[in-house]
Copies of this chain bind each other. A is one copy, B any other.
Amino acid sequence: MRTLKYAILGLLNRGPLTGYDITKEFASALGNFWSAKHSQIYPELKKLADEGLVVFHTVTQGEKLEKKLYTITPDGRKDFLQWLNQDEPLEPTPKDIFKLKTYFSDALPLGKRIEQFQSQLIKRREKLYILKNHKEKLYGSINPASLTDRQRSDYLVLQGAILREEAYVTWLRESIALLGS
């Protein structure tokens, strides 16, 4: 399906970047719904260049450090927009190791089961807290309807991550209540 290809093209569609820049993008905001390591990114950039969807030119930083700055080509932009325009089928349900354990957890004593749920709850709440803080910092006092198109995209995916984590926390709380009854 080449999703990494389109994630990279989507970033380059906003402006030229190096492989290192792209790696950093995947480690930040974008990381909430897609990610890749540099060991996957560099070969993919090479492949995209072979396919004529991107070009690079070398820029020199300081005395001799060479960076490859990648730019999307018209062909690349066309391919990217065609992907973006396609209707997206529902993905298969994402895998979830904790739910797998829950499914088999009748093999554990009740006390241990509850303990595991509580441990997950602490971690999920922490993650949710960080996401909410981030939202507050970026959009705290702003009416979301007044954002630019680009900011609105960023807002939507952050909000999506928050709703997902809230649902997980709700499930953990409900589960603990049920097990404790």
| A92, chain B: closest CB distance, angstroms | 7
- The complex is assembled from copies of this chain, and their number is 2
How many chain-A residues does the 8 Å CB contact rule pick out?
70
> Are A94 and B92 touching (Cβ within 8 A)?
no
Interface centre among A103, A157, A166 (most CB of B within 10 A): A103
Interface CB pairs A-B, < 8 A, 9: A3-B97, A34-B100, A80-B104, A84-B105, A89-B123, A94-B94, A155-B178, A164-B171, A166-B167
Q: Could you list which residues of chain A lie within 8 angstroms of chain B, going by C-beta atoms?
A: 3, 6-7, 10, 13, 30-35, 80-81, 84-85, 87-108, 110, 112, 116, 119-120, 123-124, 127, 144-145, 149-150, 152-157, 159-161, 163-164, 166-168, 170-171, 174-175, 178-179, 181
